[in-house]
Amino acid sequence: MSRIGTRLALRAAEGKAAFVAYVMAGDPDPGISAEILAGLPGAGVDVIELGIPFTDPMADGPAIQLAGQRALAGGQTLAGTLEMVRAFRETDGETPIILMGYYNPIYSMGVGAFLAAAQAAGVDGLIVVDLPPEEDAELCLPAREAGLDFIRLATPTTDDARLPAVLANTSGFVYYVSITGITGAAAAEAVAVAPEVARIKKASGLPVCVGFGVKTPERAAEIAGVADGVVVGSAIVERIGRGESPAEVLAFIRSLADAAHGD
Protein backbone atom coordinates (compact mmCIF):
# COMPACT_ATOMS: atom_id res chain seq x y z
CA MET A 1 0.00 0.00 0.00
CA SER A 2 1.25 3.48 -0.85
CA ARG A 3 1.88 6.17 1.75
CA ILE A 4 -1.41 7.75 0.68
CA GLY A 5 -3.40 4.55 1.19
CA THR A 6 -1.64 3.83 4.47
CA ARG A 7 -2.41 7.27 5.92
CA LEU A 8 -6.06 7.21 4.87
CA ALA A 9 -6.48 3.68 6.24
CA LEU A 10 -4.94 4.79 9.54
CA ARG A 11 -7.42 7.64 9.90
CA ALA A 12 -10.31 5.37 8.93
CA ALA A 13 -9.28 2.86 11.59
CA GLU A 14 -9.42 5.71 14.11
CA GLY A 15 -12.90 6.63 12.93
CA LYS A 16 -11.65 9.97 11.61
CA ALA A 17 -11.50 11.72 8.29
CA ALA A 18 -8.09 12.61 6.90
CA PHE A 19 -7.13 16.24 6.43
CA VAL A 20 -5.53 17.21 3.11
CA ALA A 21 -3.93 20.65 2.72
CA TYR A 22 -3.03 22.33 -0.56
CA VAL A 23 -0.22 24.87 -0.85
CA MET A 24 1.44 26.28 -3.97
CA ALA A 25 5.13 25.46 -4.30
CA GLY A 26 7.23 28.62 -4.15
CA ASP A 27 4.47 30.88 -2.80
CA PRO A 28 5.12 33.63 -1.81
CA ASP A 29 8.82 32.85 -2.19
CA PRO A 30 10.93 29.68 -1.99
CA GLY A 31 12.06 30.21 1.61
CA ILE A 32 8.65 30.86 3.16
CA SER A 33 7.09 28.15 1.03
CA ALA A 34 9.62 25.59 2.27
CA GLU A 35 9.04 26.68 5.87
CA ILE A 36 5.28 26.22 5.53
CA LEU A 37 5.72 22.87 3.79
CA ALA A 38 7.97 21.60 6.57
CA GLY A 39 5.41 22.68 9.19
CA LEU A 40 2.38 20.98 7.68
CA PRO A 41 2.75 17.56 9.36
CA GLY A 42 3.10 19.21 12.76
CA ALA A 43 -0.06 21.20 12.05
CA GLY A 44 -2.04 17.98 11.67
CA VAL A 45 -1.97 17.58 7.90
CA ASP A 46 -2.34 13.96 6.82
CA VAL A 47 -1.73 14.40 3.09
CA ILE A 48 -0.01 17.33 1.37
CA GLU A 49 -1.09 18.58 -2.04
CA LEU A 50 1.76 20.62 -3.46
CA GLY A 51 0.75 22.82 -6.37
CA ILE A 52 2.91 23.09 -9.48
CA PRO A 53 2.72 26.73 -10.62
CA PHE A 54 1.45 27.17 -14.15
CA THR A 55 0.59 30.18 -16.28
CA ASP A 56 -2.92 29.04 -17.28
CA PRO A 57 -4.59 27.24 -14.34
CA MET A 58 -8.05 26.80 -15.85
CA ALA A 59 -9.66 24.99 -12.90
CA ASP A 60 -8.46 27.44 -10.27
CA GLY A 61 -10.03 30.55 -8.86
CA PRO A 62 -8.34 33.90 -8.18
CA ALA A 63 -6.60 32.86 -4.95
CA ILE A 64 -4.70 29.95 -6.47
CA GLN A 65 -4.15 31.77 -9.75
CA LEU A 66 -2.45 34.59 -7.84
CA ALA A 67 -0.44 32.10 -5.81
CA GLY A 68 0.87 30.59 -9.02
CA GLN A 69 1.76 34.01 -10.36
CA ARG A 70 3.66 34.87 -7.19
CA ALA A 71 5.53 31.57 -7.35
CA LEU A 72 6.43 31.97 -11.02
CA ALA A 73 7.56 35.55 -10.44
CA GLY A 74 9.85 34.22 -7.71
CA GLY A 75 11.44 31.76 -10.11
CA GLN A 76 9.63 28.57 -9.08
CA THR A 77 9.89 25.75 -11.61
CA LEU A 78 8.81 22.13 -11.82
CA ALA A 79 12.40 21.09 -11.11
CA GLY A 80 12.43 23.41 -8.10
CA THR A 81 9.18 21.90 -6.88
CA LEU A 82 10.65 18.41 -7.05
CA GLU A 83 13.66 19.68 -5.14
CA MET A 84 11.32 20.96 -2.42
CA VAL A 85 9.90 17.46 -2.09
CA ARG A 86 13.37 15.95 -1.94
CA ALA A 87 14.40 18.37 0.83
CA PHE A 88 11.17 17.63 2.74
CA ARG A 89 11.90 13.92 2.58
CA GLU A 90 15.22 14.44 4.39
CA THR A 91 13.26 14.86 7.63
CA ASP A 92 9.86 13.29 6.88
CA GLY A 93 9.53 9.88 5.29
CA GLU A 94 5.90 9.29 6.20
CA THR A 95 3.66 12.18 5.15
CA PRO A 96 2.26 11.59 1.65
CA ILE A 97 2.87 14.28 -0.96
CA ILE A 98 0.73 14.67 -4.07
CA LEU A 99 1.77 17.01 -6.85
CA MET A 100 -1.25 18.84 -8.23
CA GLY A 101 -1.27 20.83 -11.42
CA TYR A 102 -1.49 20.77 -15.19
CA TYR A 103 0.08 18.65 -17.86
CA ASN A 104 2.06 21.29 -19.76
CA PRO A 105 5.03 21.58 -17.35
CA ILE A 106 5.27 17.77 -17.13
CA TYR A 107 5.08 17.41 -20.91
CA SER A 108 7.79 20.05 -21.29
CA MET A 109 10.11 18.16 -18.93
CA GLY A 110 9.27 14.86 -20.59
CA VAL A 111 7.07 12.24 -18.97
CA GLY A 112 9.86 9.72 -18.43
CA ALA A 113 12.24 12.26 -16.94
CA PHE A 114 9.50 13.71 -14.76
CA LEU A 115 8.36 10.37 -13.36
CA ALA A 116 11.93 9.30 -12.61
CA ALA A 117 12.62 12.59 -10.83
CA ALA A 118 9.31 12.50 -8.94
CA GLN A 119 9.90 8.95 -7.76
CA ALA A 120 13.46 9.79 -6.67
CA ALA A 121 12.30 12.92 -4.83
CA GLY A 122 9.65 11.05 -2.84
CA VAL A 123 6.41 12.05 -4.54
CA ASP A 124 3.52 9.68 -3.81
CA GLY A 125 0.82 10.71 -6.24
CA LEU A 126 -0.34 13.04 -8.98
CA ILE A 127 -3.45 15.08 -9.69
CA VAL A 128 -3.34 16.46 -13.23
CA VAL A 129 -6.60 18.23 -13.80
CA ASP A 130 -6.48 18.69 -17.57
CA LEU A 131 -5.79 15.07 -18.59
CA PRO A 132 -9.09 13.19 -19.06
CA PRO A 133 -9.32 9.39 -18.85
CA GLU A 134 -9.18 9.15 -22.64
CA GLU A 135 -5.55 10.30 -22.37
CA ASP A 136 -4.46 7.81 -19.68
CA ALA A 137 -1.65 6.51 -21.86
CA GLU A 138 -0.01 9.96 -21.75
CA LEU A 139 0.74 10.01 -18.02
CA CYS A 140 -1.69 8.06 -15.84
CA LEU A 141 -0.60 4.57 -16.87
CA PRO A 142 3.15 5.37 -16.87
CA ALA A 143 2.73 6.97 -13.44
CA ARG A 144 0.99 3.88 -12.09
CA GLU A 145 3.78 1.72 -13.50
CA ALA A 146 6.29 3.96 -11.71
CA GLY A 147 4.51 3.36 -8.40
CA LEU A 148 2.73 6.70 -8.15
CA ASP A 149 -0.96 6.97 -7.36
CA PHE A 150 -2.95 8.82 -10.01
CA ILE A 151 -5.86 10.57 -8.36
CA ARG A 152 -8.80 11.52 -10.50
CA LEU A 153 -11.43 14.19 -9.90
CA ALA A 154 -15.15 13.46 -9.92
CA THR A 155 -17.64 16.32 -9.97
CA PRO A 156 -21.37 16.93 -9.49
CA THR A 157 -21.75 16.45 -13.25
CA THR A 158 -19.98 13.06 -13.32
CA ASP A 159 -23.00 10.85 -13.91
CA ASP A 160 -23.24 7.05 -13.71
CA ALA A 161 -22.42 6.71 -17.40
CA ARG A 162 -19.19 8.70 -17.08
CA LEU A 163 -18.06 7.50 -13.65
CA PRO A 164 -16.57 4.13 -14.72
CA ALA A 165 -14.18 5.86 -17.13
CA VAL A 166 -13.13 8.32 -14.44
CA LEU A 167 -12.45 5.52 -11.96
CA ALA A 168 -10.81 3.01 -14.30
CA ASN A 169 -7.17 3.79 -13.47
CA THR A 170 -7.64 5.89 -10.35
CA SER A 171 -5.73 4.93 -7.21
CA GLY A 172 -5.03 6.36 -3.75
CA PHE A 173 -8.38 8.09 -3.40
CA VAL A 174 -11.01 9.81 -5.47
CA TYR A 175 -11.10 13.59 -5.20
CA TYR A 176 -14.71 14.73 -5.21
CA VAL A 177 -15.13 18.33 -6.34
CA SER A 178 -18.10 19.41 -4.25
CA ILE A 179 -19.18 22.36 -6.37
CA THR A 180 -19.57 23.14 -10.04
CA GLY A 181 -16.96 25.73 -10.94
CA ILE A 182 -13.48 26.85 -9.99
CA THR A 183 -11.64 26.57 -6.68
CA GLY A 184 -12.80 28.94 -3.97
CA ALA A 185 -16.04 29.77 -5.78
CA ALA A 186 -18.69 28.57 -3.33
CA ALA A 187 -19.28 26.69 -0.11
CA ALA A 188 -19.54 22.91 0.04
CA GLU A 189 -22.74 21.55 1.58
CA ALA A 190 -22.59 18.24 3.45
CA VAL A 191 -26.21 17.40 2.63
CA ALA A 192 -25.41 17.53 -1.08
CA VAL A 193 -22.02 15.87 -0.77
CA ALA A 194 -23.05 12.80 1.26
CA PRO A 195 -24.98 10.89 -1.44
CA GLU A 196 -22.29 11.60 -4.03
CA VAL A 197 -19.56 10.31 -1.74
CA ALA A 198 -21.56 7.13 -1.13
CA ARG A 199 -22.15 6.66 -4.87
CA ILE A 200 -18.47 7.07 -5.73
CA LYS A 201 -17.27 4.82 -2.90
CA LYS A 202 -19.65 2.07 -3.99
CA ALA A 203 -18.40 2.29 -7.56
CA SER A 204 -14.69 2.60 -6.79
CA GLY A 205 -13.98 0.88 -3.49
CA LEU A 206 -11.62 3.79 -2.80
CA PRO A 207 -11.68 6.49 -0.11
CA VAL A 208 -13.31 9.74 -1.24
CA CYS A 209 -11.83 13.08 -0.22
CA VAL A 210 -13.89 16.22 -0.73
CA GLY A 211 -12.51 19.58 -1.75
CA PHE A 212 -13.45 22.92 -3.36
CA GLY A 213 -15.64 25.13 -1.17
CA VAL A 214 -14.25 24.16 2.26
CA LYS A 215 -13.01 27.36 3.85
CA THR A 216 -13.61 27.22 7.62
CA PRO A 217 -13.11 24.76 10.49
CA GLU A 218 -16.88 24.52 10.85
CA ARG A 219 -17.32 23.50 7.22
CA ALA A 220 -14.36 21.11 7.45
CA ALA A 221 -16.04 19.37 10.39
CA GLU A 222 -19.32 19.08 8.47
CA ILE A 223 -17.69 17.56 5.39
CA ALA A 224 -15.59 15.22 7.56
CA GLY A 225 -18.85 13.73 8.78
CA VAL A 226 -19.71 12.45 5.31
CA ALA A 227 -16.32 11.91 3.60
CA ASP A 228 -13.08 9.99 4.11
CA GLY A 229 -11.04 13.16 3.81
CA VAL A 230 -11.37 16.92 3.64
CA VAL A 231 -9.29 19.06 1.26
CA VAL A 232 -8.64 22.78 1.85
CA GLY A 233 -6.66 24.94 -0.55
CA SER A 234 -7.93 28.41 -1.39
CA ALA A 235 -8.56 29.43 2.23
CA ILE A 236 -4.95 28.58 3.08
CA VAL A 237 -3.48 30.19 -0.01
CA GLU A 238 -5.47 33.38 0.61
CA ARG A 239 -3.78 33.79 3.98
CA ILE A 240 -0.36 33.30 2.43
CA GLY A 241 -1.29 35.91 -0.17
CA ARG A 242 -2.26 38.39 2.55
CA GLY A 243 1.25 38.12 3.96
CA GLU A 244 0.50 36.16 7.11
CA SER A 245 3.56 34.63 8.72
CA PRO A 246 4.22 30.90 8.45
CA ALA A 247 3.28 30.57 12.12
CA GLU A 248 -0.09 32.26 11.50
CA VAL A 249 -0.78 30.16 8.40
CA LEU A 250 0.10 26.94 10.22
CA ALA A 251 -2.10 27.89 13.18
CA PHE A 252 -5.04 28.28 10.80
CA ILE A 253 -4.23 24.94 9.20
CA ARG A 254 -4.14 23.35 12.64
CA SER A 255 -7.65 24.65 13.32
CA LEU A 256 -8.86 23.04 10.08
CA ALA A 257 -7.10 19.76 10.80
CA ASP A 258 -8.48 19.57 14.32
CA ALA A 259 -11.98 20.18 12.98
CA ALA A 260 -11.62 17.55 10.28
CA HIS A 261 -10.32 15.04 12.82
CA GLY A 262 -13.07 15.85 15.30
CA ASP A 263 -10.53 16.91 17.92
Is residue 220 within 8 Å of 207, Cβ to Cβ?
no
The CA distance from 165 to 157, in Å, is 14
Is residue 22 within 8 Å of 51, Cβ to Cβ?
yes
SS3 at position 181: coil
Report the amino acid identity of residue 95: T
Which residue in the list 29, 35, 56, 60 is annotated as catalytic? 60
- For Cα atoms 214, 218, 220, give the angle at the middle one, nearest 5 degrees: 40
SS3 at position 221: helix
User: Any catalytic annotation for residue 263?
Assistant: no
What secondary structure letter does DSSP report for 160?
A: T
Strands 97-101 and 229-232, by their bridges, are unpaired
Which residue in the list 27, 49, 136, 149 is annotated as catalytic? 49
User: Any catalytic annotation for residue 90?
Assistant: no
What secondary structure letter does DSSP report for 48?
A: E
Strand partners of residue 23: 50
Catalytic residues: 49, 60
